[in-house]
Chains A and B, each alone.
Chain A
Amino acid sequence: MDEVVELEIPARLEFVALARLLVSSFAASTAVLPEDRIDDLKIAVSEACTNAIEAHGAADTAERVLVRCRDADEHLEVLIEDRGAGFDLAKLPDHPPVTDPERLNFERGLGIPLIRALVDDVEFSSSSEGTAVKLVMHHGDADN
C-alpha cells in the first residue's frame, strides 16, 4: 500500500522550511532515495512552496497550502497545491542567458528551471482556482 503524508501549511514564508523538513524526513524514512537526491527534492519543494505561498499573497487568500508526500511502487511524489490565481507556464518572462550582463537585472526566474533540472518528472496544472505541482523522484539506491 502507498504511504501518504499530508501537511497543510499557513501561506507564510516561514513555513517553507517546515515543508522542506517534512519532505526530507519522509524521503529519509522511506529509504528509497540516496541523500543527494533528497537534497535535490528539498530544493524543488522549496521552490514550489515559495511560488505557492507568493501566489496566495498575491490573491490575498488565507487558505493553506497543501503538501502531500506519497511513496508509490517505483517512485516518490510530492504534490504542492495552492489556491492562488494560477499562472500560464508558457507566458513566464524569458530572461537573458546568465552570461549576458543584462541578466543581473533579474534576481528571479531561476526557480522553475531548477525544479525541472532537479526532479525526475514534474507536472504543473494551473487554473484560475489554483496551481498543483507534482514532483516525482524515481526510486534509487538509498545507500549511494
Chain B
Amino acid sequence: MRVALEEEPSMDLGLDVTEREGWAILAVRGEVDVYTAPRFRERLIELVSQGHHRILVDLEGVDFLDSTGLGVLVGGLKRVRSHDGELALVCTQRRILKVFEITGLTKVFSIHETVDDALAA
C-alpha cells in the first residue's frame, strides 16, 4: 500500500515575545514535541532570568502538543511561582485543550480564550 504524506513534517517552532501590561506574552507556533520542546523550555527560562515573572503563553498557533510540551509548561510554572509570579495560557483549540483535560492540568493552569481575556483576568 502506498500512503501519500499529507504535508511536510515541520521542525519550525515560532517563539515570539511581546510585552503588555506587565506581562510577557510568548506566542508559540508549530509543533511542540520532544525535538522542539528544548527551544521552548530555553525561551521560558530566558524570560524568567530576564525578570519576567508574569508570562502568558499563547498556544493558538500550536498545531500539535504532546506530554513533552506539557512538561515544559509545568517547568515554566514552577519557575515563575518561585518568584511569586504567574504563568497563564491562551488556548481555544479542542485538540490541545484535550491533553490538559486528560492530565488534569486544567486545574493547574489558568486557561483563557484570548490574550485580552487573560490580561483582564
A17–B9 touching, CB < 8 Å: yes
Interface: A46 (CB within 8 A) = yes
Given contacts A17-B33, A20-B64, A43-B99, A108 and B6 within 8 Å (CB-CB):
no
CA distance A42 to B47 in the complex (A): 31
B78–A3 touching, CB < 8 Å: no
Give the size category of A's interface with B. 35 or more
B78–A5 touching, CB < 8 Å: no
Nearest neighbor of A39 in chain B, beta-carbon distance:
B95
| B residues apposed to A, CB below 8 Å | 1, 3-7, 9-11, 31, 33-35, 64, 66-68, 70-72, 74-75, 77-78, 81, 94-95, 98-99, 102-105, 107-108
B75–A47 touching, CB < 8 Å: no
Interface string of A105-135 (1 = CB under 8 A from B): 1111011011001100000000000000000
A-B contact count (CB 8 A): 98
Given contacts A13-B34, A43-B66, A50-B34, A28 and B6 within 8 Å (CB-CB):
yes
B71–A4 touching, CB < 8 Å: no
Chain A contacts for B81, CB-based, 8 A: 104
B64–A42 touching, CB < 8 Å: yes
B108–A99 touching, CB < 8 Å: yes
Q: Which of B67, B68, B98 counts the most A-chain CB atoms under 10 A from its CB?
A: B67
**5 CB < 8 A contacts A-B:** A16-B34, A17-B11, A22-B3, A29-B3, A103-B74
Nearest neighbor of A18 in chain B, beta-carbon distance:
B9
**Which 6 residue pairs are nearest across A and B when measured between Cβ atoms?**
A107-B71, A110-B67, A104-B78, A17-B9, A98-B104, A13-B35
